Structure 1
């Protein structure tokens, strides 16, 4: 993600796993998906107090410690055992598990699993599977040099390169090649790999 500002800004970004987001936000996670919301609007007085404490801390290590403590204290919600099992299986497979098979494993219909997954995790299992495959493809593209997109697509769990290209357009708004060119200019890991 690239954020531009026309003034001085400092921020702390917390990237939750899907399960971590549920543990922190509980059932509200579905209402927060794909939005940028003020911390005070999400967490009320507690969120505004957190922002003040972070702003008042003199150094970054103290700010990180304040945020980490806050997250640990609030991460108390547990999803249903069936959703936790389905989520774990989906993540372990890198998004390649079949949703119908996951539903069968937890003893639910595919439709019921999708509805409960959406309620508890904030996205449908099929969408999360897509995101996991895309994330894996991005990681593979960053770590490999000279590997073609077809090979990356197969290793990330896509049926073929066309499916990978579709997901790149959905999640990044770019073709894989355009994404790689942009990332190479902004990701120092890729710049070093290309120079070597």
Structure 2
């Protein structure tokens, strides 16, 4: 499987975020790379509050976090796929050590229920995972390598069983992400020799959202990345590249997802 991505897709105003927090991605142990895309780690020490905005990926995340200024104890939660723009206010000092599962990759770690049960929800990890989450072991070490090792040890202890259907779901989502010609659910179903209904069931059980949602979300990620890297982007041309019938449709989807029209980028 590929190494952690270096792009910033999904992060609204990534440059601003990185100026406020120390953000990095780390690879998991080799035995976990089939299901886990990467670990992401953030530390911050802010003189003034800062609010970040992220357009969620079609991925489940396992998030260990400690917000020192809140006065609350550190905790671990399973964050299902977010359907809306995720907004997080950061203040004071804090730390996050998190696992980003590949789309379809979380189910082997919690095989009892469809992943769609967690969609749009954030629940304490101990309510879902069979082994208690080692919050202190993940968050307390000063050395980053020790935190990564603790994440590796915990996920390996969960002993996910190989699941061919999970692997199929991961491959399908990866195809949607990388193949720009794949713009419709019926096209994806035909290409994979599945009925549309079977495809929908597979995505609900293993990914957590439907294939149409995944297709649209990756389009918005692409549009956001292009817009932030090129302030002069031609939105009509971009709409055509992404398979939209016209610029107005892209603008509507972008605005409903980001919470602001393309023209407002950089003015939050």
- TM-score, normalising length from structure 1? 0.74
Find the aligned partners of 2:216 and 2:251 in 1 and give their Cα distance.
12
| Distance verdict in 2 for CA 1:151–1:112, change over 3 Å | same
Q: Deviations over 1:64-123 (max 9, x none)?
A: 332244346655453526545533432222483321122223333212211222122111
Match of 2:222 in 1: 136
One of 5, 9, 17 as aligned partner of 2:102: 17
Q: Is the 8 A contact 2:185 2:211 kept in 1?
A: yes
Q: Which has the higher strand share?
A: 2
Match of 1:66 in 2: 150
Once the two structures are TM-superposed, the CA of residue 154 in structure 1 deviates from its matched residue by 2.5
1:111 equivalent to 2:225? Answer: no
Once the two structures are TM-superposed, the CA of residue 24 in structure 1 deviates from its matched residue by 4.3
One of 232, 255, 260 as aligned partner of 1:174: 260
Find the aligned partners of 1:8 and 1:137 in 2 and give their Cα distance.
33
| Corresponding pairs, count | 180
1:114-193 aligned at under 5 Å gives the runs: 114-182=200-268
1:24-43 aligned at under 5 Å gives the runs: 24-26=109-111, 27-43=113-129
Moved >6 Å (runs of 4+): none
| Distance verdict in 2 for CA 1:28–1:68, change over 3 Å | farther
- TM-score, normalising length from structure 2? 0.57
Instruction: Give structure 1 stretches of 5+ with no counterpart.
Output: 183-196
Q: Which has the higher helix share?
A: 1
| Distance verdict in 2 for CA 1:128–1:73, change over 3 Å | farther
Q: Is the 8 A contact 2:114 2:204 kept in 1?
A: no
State the secondary structure of the residue aligned to 1:10: strand
| Distance verdict in 2 for CA 1:15–1:141, change over 3 Å | farther
Once the two structures are TM-superposed, the CA of residue 129 in structure 1 deviates from its matched residue by 0.5
Instruction: Give structure 2 stretches of 5+ with no counterpart.
Output: 1-53, 55-86
Q: Deviations over 1:160-190 (max 9, x none)?
A: 22221222233222212224433xxxxxxxx
